[in-house]
Structure 1
Amino acid sequence: MIKNIRTKQAILIGAVVLLVAFLFTRDIKGLVKPKEETNSKAAGGPMASQAPATAEINLKEVSTVAKNTINASLAAEIVTLENAYTSASEDKKAAEAKLLAKKWDDLEQTVPSALYLEIVASKEPTLNNWLTAGDTFMKAFDNTRDSVLLPALLQKANFAYTNAVKIDSNSNDAKTGLGITIVNGMGAPMSGIAMLMDVVKKDPKNLKANMSLGTFAMKSGQFDKAITRFQNIIAMKPSPEAYFYLGTAYENLGKNTEAIEAYEKSKKLAANATLSKFIDDKVNALKNKK
């Protein structure tokens, strides 16, 4: 029994890691410096112990590393924009930060882009600005394999979505983002799930909330629930991610025929050589189990 459970966990972890690596992963080296330890009792209360240790992302270091990954002419453009931001008066900094965020986003460098979007939101605190910052921090969170950077990005996303909810407590986008950060480690997981369930109750076709509930169901071993969730997502909008996760859930339940069908559909939609090779190997292995 224990062996079967461990096998299922290995299947789940391996499949999810491969999907994330294919769809989302970027190599980002450690750029986070922990803040000096604070007196948690003084800061206090029971809630203080629920959040992970705070970390600060150094914008200058992030930008320097990112500039080293692009060609010299593009790096020079970034430097010009950075100089304009630095020399801008306070009432102009938000506009300059938007330009930097857009440029970094165009270059697929989500961490510096998110940090500049956070600056924009702090200076122009609108619902959309905080949502955009939160979404970009979560994109960076999904992209990175840096174990030190992950909690800092999650905290940043949580902060952004918290501010969005303060502006509009009825915003499904804000509640979904906040719920995702809570379940991922920023508080009590069940409160985050309850928040996501509330979003889906009000908006059954909310893909982001449904996808999150599906992946969380898989992580907790509730594969039957995950299958139902991913089937509903596919009925609304088929995607390689949804089919891949559906296949993984079926595989964990030993439903190899259904898993093969889902994996093949994921491969067809993704049309990616790396994922195709992985799925072909997986499908062959599942066929040999019959």
Structure 2
Amino acid sequence: MKRKQAFLLTFSVILIGALYFLGDFKGKKKHNGHTHNEAMNASPQNPIENIDALDFKQFELSQENSLNEQKKATLSELKVKAIKKETAHEYKDIAEFWEKENELIIAAFYYKKAAFLENTEKSITFAGSLYLALLEREGDMSKLKWLSLEAIPCFEKVIELNPNNDNAKVALATCYTEGMGETMKGVTILREITAKDSTNIPANLMLGKMSIQSGQFDKAINRLELVLSKTPENTEAMYFLAEAYKGQGNKAKAISLFEKCKSIVNNPEFSKEIDNYIKTFN
């Protein structure tokens, strides 16, 4: 029980943080209405497909070398046990070791190894979600790409185990669009979801955001209005709908939505950023 509680505590903070900064945009810095990661991924100066992914083995070795001798010995023992027994339990021990060192990328790697040994939809979904949460917080492009490459097999496996898991499909699309720069792969997955269920909230939300990035404001408005009709206090949809109306030239509607978003989020830093952003409207 202790193991599970410790495991969930640290990564729950990450998952909540991802929602806080990327779901509801509370306190997240914006660049022309997009999150930092979206702005980078959309930048022609930084095409992520041309960036090498993190060399994980080298990264892990570097972090191991920074440990004191006692910790190195502990880690070595854990690795020997994992190689010998090759069970989820031993890999979770290694993951927890790195979690305590606040090396969450390495911890996620070993939680993934444990999840694939357990081979359940629940465990692999959670492993993929850890990568996705880290991906959405990551500013280093090589790490961003590596996290995507690690997350993709997780969500592909979940879909193999349960072909009706649309949340896994949206997560997979997110990996392709935000982490790999493969927009059309992501769009294809999302459109397959909406073809089956035209009111799917996560898929329409993501397609709406992507329509803004491509300047298709009418399409964005249609999708985001649909999302808000189903989830009226969805502040992420509200924020991007405001952006879509601004892009369309309807600044009064945009300001109204931004003000409503401010009142629901109820965060002073977020409100200040929105107020400053509105001041830039001409």
Q: Residue type matched to 1:17 in 2?
A: T
CA contact (8 A) 1:110 1:137 kept: no
CA contact (8 A) 2:132 2:147 kept: yes
Structure 2 counterparts to residues 77-116 of structure 1, below 5 A: 85-86=78-79, 88-89=81-82, 90-91=84-85, 93-98=87-92, 110-116=104-110
Q: Residue type matched to 1:172 in 2?
A: D
Q: Could you tell me which residue of structure 1 aligns to residue 265 of structure 2?
A: 270
Q: Deviation at 1:257? A: 0.7
Structure 1, 12-21 or 204-213: larger mean CA deviation: 12-21
Percent identity of paired positions between Structure 1 and Structure 2: 25
Structure 2 counterparts to residues 74-153 of structure 1, below 5 A: 85-86=78-79, 88-89=81-82, 90-91=84-85, 93-98=87-92, 110-153=104-147
Q: Deviation at 1:103? A: 8.8
Q: Deviation at 1:196? A: 0.9
Q: Deviation at 1:121? A: 2.2
RMSD: 3.7
Gap regions ≥5 residues in structure 1:
1-11, 22-49, 68-75
**Distance in 2 of aligned mates of 1:165 and 1:51:** 28
Q: Residue type matched to 1:56 in 2?
A: D
User: Residues 263 and 105 of structure 1: is their aligned pair in 2 closer, same or farther, counting only changes over 3 Å?
Assistant: farther
The question of 1:245 aligning with 2:243 is answered no
Q: TM-score, normalised by structure 2?
A: 0.68
1:116-167: per-residue Cα shift (whole Å, max 9, x none)? 3212223222222222222221211110111221111111112222232333
**Distance in 1 of aligned mates of 2:180 and 2:37:** 24
1:151-187: per-residue Cα shift (whole Å, max 9, x none)? 1111111222223233333332332222222334648
Q: Secondary structure at the match of 1:148?
A: helix
CA contact (8 A) 1:82 1:100 kept: yes
Q: Secondary structure at the match of 2:255?
A: helix
Q: Secondary structure at the match of 1:149?
A: helix
Choose from 231, 251, 255 the match for 2:250: 255
User: Residues 241 and 20 of structure 1: is their aligned pair in 2 closer, same or farther, counting only changes over 3 Å?
Assistant: farther
Q: Residue type matched to 1:273 in 2?
A: P
Structure 1, 120-129 or 103-112: larger mean CA deviation: 103-112
User: Residues 129 and 280 of structure 1: is their aligned pair in 2 closer, same or farther, counting only changes over 3 Å?
Assistant: same
- Number of residues of Structure 1 aligned to a counterpart in Structure 2: 238
Q: Residue type matched to 2:114 in 1?
A: V
1:209-243: per-residue Cα shift (whole Å, max 9, x none)? 22221221111111111122222222222232221
Q: Could you tell me which residue of structure 2 aligns to residue 56 of structure 1?
A: 55
User: Residues 130 and 198 of structure 1: is their aligned pair in 2 closer, same or farther, counting only changes over 3 Å?
Assistant: same
Choose from 217, 229, 232 the match for 1:235: 229
User: Residues 169 and 60 of structure 1: is their aligned pair in 2 closer, same or farther, counting only changes over 3 Å?
Assistant: farther
Q: Residue type matched to 2:185 in 1?
A: S
Q: Could you tell me which residue of structure 2 aligns to residue 14 of structure 1?
A: 32
The question of 1:210 aligning with 2:209 is answered no
CA contact (8 A) 1:239 1:269 kept: no
Q: Secondary structure at the match of 2:249?
A: coil
User: Residues 64 and 234 of structure 1: is their aligned pair in 2 closer, same or farther, counting only changes over 3 Å?
Assistant: farther
**Distance in 1 of aligned mates of 2:81 and 2:74:** 10
Q: Residue type matched to 1:131 in 2?
A: T
